A and B are shown apart, each in its own frame.
Chain A
Amino acid sequence: MVLTSCSLLRLQPGTTGSIQKIEGMNPILRRRLADLGVSEGVMIRLKGKGPFMGPITLECNGQLFAIRRKEASMIEVKVS
């Protein structure tokens, strides 16, 4: 099994990774993500990418939510 770390944006829609690092994010957004249970070590799934470079849809702990690509690129995930 090969483990690779990459930005969340690089995941294929429908695949899951575990969050390694969240760095450089706007603190308000960081807090809101934490409220949703998005933090290091948690499994996160990329559901889809919005039109016109719009936000991407994610699923974490059974909750669907969306953030912008710029911010999603600050989440590093590990895929197996």
Chain B
Amino acid sequence: MSSIALVGNPNTGKTSLFNTLTSSYEYVGNWAGVTVEKKIGSLKNGAGKLIDLPGIYSLHPLSRDEGVAAQYLIEETPEALINIVDASQLERNLLLTLQLLEYGKPTILGLNMTDVAKARGIQVNPDILNERLGIPVLPLIARTGKGTSQVLSVLEQPSHIPPVTFQLNYGDIAEQAIASIVAQLQKISGLPNLRWVALQLMEQNPVILELLKKRTDISGLLLIADAAQTRLQQEKLALTLPQWIRSVRMDYIRMVCADAIDSTLQKPHNLTERLDSILTHRFLGLPLFIVFMYAMFKTTFDWIGGPLSDLLDGFIGGPLSDWTNSLLGTIGASEFTHALIVDGLIGGVGGVLVFVPQIFILFLMISFLEDSGYMARVCLLMDSTMERMGLNGKAFIPFIIGFGCNVPAIMAARSIEQPKDRLLTTLLMPLMSCSARLPVYLLFAAVFFPAQQATAVLSMYVMGVVFALILCKFFSKHLFKNETSIFIIELPPYRMPQFKTLSRSTWEKGKGFLRKAGTIILAGSVLIWLMSYAGPGGLNVDMDHSFLAKFGGFIAPLLQPLGFGTWQAGSTLVPGFLAKEVVVSTMNIIYHAPDAAGLEGQIASVFTPLSSISFMAFILLYIPCLATVGVIKKETASWKWTFFSMGYSLVLAYAVSLVIYQGGRLLGWS
């Protein structure tokens, strides 16, 4: 099986092409050492595997996503490359193309968005490009699939793609340096194209420098580069060697573009201009965004998601439980098995599965906003606010995703270029009320604040955001004193997202939740149920004498000042660390509640309105769930920061709940 890598700038339609060229995701995993998603699919014609690399502008990485592409090219040997470029942005896109051609593997240039370019009055001549670059150039419209069959037929026999002969002359000074570096590199085995490695070294590409350092002493190589740089400076050709290399490439690209592109009829982006004049308007932009956010949450929780969840809840609590009961009765299952399946499994996992519709709807809408090009505008709108808090506007999207689930949200923070901004976003993410915490709010709001349910739930979300902002300011001032944040964002033209791409990315984001329901939550529910079923006195004990009650009673005194010092409340917290969804399913098990109404009755008798607020705040703020802790460890690659995020949230939760409960009591509330 041969492997073919798909490389291109961000927003050039790589994902669309990937989806049309492959029939299935064979594998989505992580790149070795970094947790950037690695997407591999089987080509439809069975010719091999297609690897989707993160979108990059050049091989010189600024963010972690980008480092993956350079690392891939140096450590693995794809048989061929597909370089996808945006026909309406050719000049900029070709910079990466030249670096890929220097890599020397057979390459196809996918000239995408030819329809967009044509509509804007830009005509690109593929024959001239083909002649100048020496590689097959295939015009494409990846969104509609036009031209993708040609790509497939060329890929049928990757070995038939003509080898790359392209070579750029960087002038005497640089060429001499390249030659002597190449001569030294010859001693090292296992490197790709040596001229390419030499050029990347001269460009100071950190990934290449790192790799070479592992294999050899590179000080000699760097001396050659420095000498070349000094000579360039003496001759007043360029200030630095990387600048010189870039300018030689740009000159060549301008020459190619001048011949291959006819832009005499070029028109501006009309739709984008008009939409931007409203959506990024200095006064209207933010209010409109708030309206959209409100509509998004309404749709997720009220208009569509809520009713769907109710339907599912009715099914799980009604017909499914009944069927299971009668089935278990028929096959004569033991009392233990019966209780395990009905109370433990259906009660626990079922209580969480009902949120699946809401989560998928939220992710669908987030994917829509991303694909339409609006998300980039949101970053722009939010940047000044975020900057005041010590972050940058790009952190805003991860925070929004965090309302769905913190895990993909922390992974979404990878698109932030600066390590400091990325780390801050990661550390503060757990303060975003993920959908797992929603059931707790919904339950308590329904019991204690029936008239103001939406306000009560919303105020929990707002509380998380407010603490995130305060801590953000605090952390960025005290933990990262001297680091500034930068902000630059590309604004792609607005476009209508495609259903196929939307459904695929929604699934990619949401399936983690399903997987969690099938593993951690399942195991957690069974464990909790067992602990409530068994006690020092044996099996099937009265719940008050179970292991769970013993354990809950052990931490209950600690929680007494917070207003919920019962063993029941205490024993939801530990499984809540496994997954916050388990809090409600634990309550279902503990209170032996057959349905939502039964549970609400029990809660009403145990909590007071004040202690319920204190409890909700505690659930919101205390320790991120296990999956989130796992991803924080992976993304920060540091135990120190992982424990820090767990510690600060626990302290914060305790302090806030204490202030709420004791403060409320002083004010005479109950």
Given A35-B95, A47-B276, also A65-B89 (CB < 8 A): no
Interface stretch (choices B15-23, B364-372, B458-466, B480-488): B480-488
Mask, B479-507, CB within 8 Å of A = 1, is 00000101111111100000000000000
Q: How far is the CA of A28 from the CA of B62 in the complex (A)?
A: 7
Partner pick for B92 among A26, A28, A61, A64, CB 8 A cutoff = A61
A8 to chain B, nearest CB (A): 14
Once the chains bind, are B384 and A55 in contact (CB under 8 Å)? yes
Q: Count contacts on A: residues with CB < 8 A to the other chain.
A: 30
Contacts of B418 in A (CB 8 A): 28
Partner pick for A31 among B62, B280, B383, CB 8 A cutoff = B62
Once the chains bind, are B92 and A37 in contact (CB under 8 Å)? yes
Query: How many B residues touch the partner, as a band?
Result: 35 or more
22 sampled A-B residue pairs with Cβ under 8 A: A26-B484, A28-B486, A31-B60, A32-B62, A36-B57, A37-B95, A39-B250, A50-B285, A50-B381, A50-B383, A50-B384, A51-B285, A51-B381, A51-B384, A53-B384, A54-B383, A55-B383, A61-B92, A63-B89, A64-B493, A67-B487, A68-B486
Mask, A25-45, CB within 8 Å of B = 1, is 010110111111101000000
Q: How far is the CA of A54 from the CA of B387 in the complex (A)?
A: 9
Contacts of B92 in A (CB 8 A): 35-37, 61, 63
Once the chains bind, are A52 and B385 in contact (CB under 8 Å)? yes
Q: How far is the CA of A55 from the CA of B487 in the complex (A)?
A: 8
Tell me what chain A mostly uses at the interface: helix, strand, loop, or mixed: mixed
Chain A: CB-nearest residue to B380 = A66
Once the chains bind, are A54 and B91 in contact (CB under 8 Å)? no
Residues of B within 8 A of A (CB): 57-58, 60, 62, 88-89, 91-92, 95, 120, 246, 250, 266, 269, 272, 276-277, 280, 282-283, 285-286, 380-381, 383-385, 387, 393, 417-418, 484, 486-493
Contacts of B381 in A (CB 8 A): 50-51, 54
User: Which among A63, A66, A67 has the highest number of chain B CB atoms within 10 Å?
Assistant: A66
Once the chains bind, are B380 and A55 in contact (CB under 8 Å)? yes
* Besides A51-B384, A64-B269, A66-B380, 8 other A-B contacts (C-beta < 8 A): A28-B486, A36-B57, A61-B91, A61-B92, A62-B89, A64-B272, A68-B486, A71-B486
Once the chains bind, are A28 and B417 in contact (CB under 8 Å)? yes
Once the chains bind, are A51 and B282 in contact (CB under 8 Å)? yes
> Lowest 4 CB-CB distances: which A-B pairs, in order?
A54-B384, A35-B57, A64-B491, A52-B384
Q: How far is the CA of A36 from the CA of B283 in the complex (A)?
A: 28
Q: How far is the CA of A40 from the CA of B506 in the complex (A)?
A: 42
Partner pick for A50 among B89, B120, B282, B490, CB 8 A cutoff = B282
A21 within 8 A of B: no
A5 within 8 A of B: no
Q: How far is the CA of A29 from the CA of B492 in the complex (A)?
A: 19
Once the chains bind, are A63 and B384 in contact (CB under 8 Å)? no
Once the chains bind, are B417 and A62 in contact (CB under 8 Å)? no
Q: How far is the CA of A14 from the CA of B327 in the complex (A)?
A: 72
Contacts of A39 in B (CB 8 A): 250
Once the chains bind, are A36 and B490 in contact (CB under 8 Å)? yes
A57 within 8 A of B: yes
